[in-house]
Amino acid sequence: MMENLNTLFNKYDNKKAIGSFNVHCLEMLPSMLLGAKEIESPIIIQTSLGTAKYIGFDLLVSTMDTLANRYQIDACLHLDHCTDMNAVKEAVDAGYTSVMYDGSSLTLEENISNTREIVEYAHKRNVSVEGEVGSIGGAEDGLIIDEEQAKYTDIDEAIRFVEETQVDALAVAIGTTHGQFKSKAKINYELLSSLSENLDKVGLVLHGGTGVSDEDMRKCVREGMKKINVGSELNKSYIELVNETFPPALDAPLTSLRKLLNPANDKIKEIVKEKSLLFQL
């Protein structure tokens, strides 16, 4: 079944945190849901607006619906970091079960006012909303937030934001960055534990899951993270695997593409399983 974040958070509270995986092309999607099926786990699939435009909102919704039914699992289709309010509403209308409106680059007042408008629109249609306070650094889908722009989430701002917007999930900046491969994230646990204590009505979201050690992941889940985003690791692994299978096929061009993609798809399935189990502690 396609579900929103609240339903997943409530139904799978015993599973601790749920993995939210960025899909980059349609080819990856069946393996991701099959991975969830094999470990009987719910899954969140998220798309950047760029990916959604590339594949199409309608095709993503119908494919997710088909796969969730085929594998009989609970799955959420979520729009990741969208700064365009019209596009967020378009995703809701198309059948996404969850959306993130990212107003973190605006003033707090503007962020609250825009996010509240999205929440009103989405909740009427049974769609959950993630917001962001503070700014998570790194590079994602061509958008670069450098170290100077990145900013830890302020507790008082986060409390006010959640109360005034009624968001279901909140992305917090606690030291992780998007697309971090070469080093490991340094997480501010003091900040995380006071965010957890003060924000018990909202699902906290850890962005920038690539580059977070397993030990840190477990600690973040124990400290209350409910949704954990992993994107770049999937992208990088896919590129690595097709880079192994494609070049030799240049000498055997009648080899079906399907066979060349299988190792990459299998790797995606393994990452989804490994991370989802890690997040369940």
- Check the annotation: does 78 bind a ligand: no
Length of the chain: 281
The stretch near ligand 13P (CB under 6 A) out of 33-41, 83-91, 175-183, 193-201 is 175-183
Instruction: Establish whether 24 is an annotated binding residue.
Output: no
Q: Does 114 bind ligand 13P (CB under 6 A)?
A: no
Amino acid at position 188, single letter = N
Catalytic residue among 80, 93, 141, 216: 80
Which residue number, 62 or 213, has a Cβ lying nearer to ligand 13P? 213
89 or 207: whose CB is closer to ligand 13P? 207
Whole-angstrom CA distances from 6 to 32, 204, 220 are 21, 12, 20
Binding-site string for ligand 13P from residue 3 to residue 22, where x marks contact by CB under 6 A and - marks none:
-------------------x
**Under a CB-based contact definition with an 8 Å cutoff, are residues 187 and 217 in contact?**
no
3-state SS, 85-118, equals: HHHHHHHHHHCCCEEEECCCCCCHHHHHHHHHHH
Check if 80 is active-site. yes
Among 15, 78, 89, 207, binds ligand 13P (CB under 6 A): 207
Which region, judged by CB under 6 A, interacts with ligand 13P, from 58-66, 126-134, 193-201, 228-236?
228-236
Q: Is 209 in the site for ligand 13P (CB under 6 A)?
A: yes
Say whether 123 counts as a known binding-site residue.
no
Q: Is 81 annotated as a binding residue?
A: yes
Query: How far apart are the C-alpha atoms of 154 and 103, rounded to whole Å?
Result: 15
Tell me how far, at minimum, the Cβ of 140 lies from ligand 13P, in Å: 6
Q: Which DSSP helix (H) or strand (E) runs through 171?
A: strand 169-172
Choosing from 78, 81, 89, 116, the residue that interacts with ligand 13P (CB under 6 A) is 81
**Minimum CB distance to ligand 13P, residue 231 (Å):** 3
DSSP string covering 225-278: EEEEEE-HHHHHHHHHHHHHHHHHHTT-TTS-HHHHHHHHHHHHHHHHHHHHHH
Surface-to-core class of residue 107, CB atoms within 10 Å of its CB (0-12 exposed, 13-18 middle, 19+ buried) = exposed
Q: Which three-class secondary structure state does DSSP give residue 215?
A: helix
CA dihedral in degrees (51, 107, 159, 132; nearest 10)? 10
- If one asks whether residue 178 binds ligand 13P (CB under 6 A), the answer comes out as yes
Catalytic residue numbers read 80
- The residues that touch ligand 13P, with contacts defined as CB under 6 A, are 22, 80-81, 140, 178-180, 207-210, 229-233
Which residues fall in the annotated binding site for Zn(2+)? 81, 102, 132, 178, 207
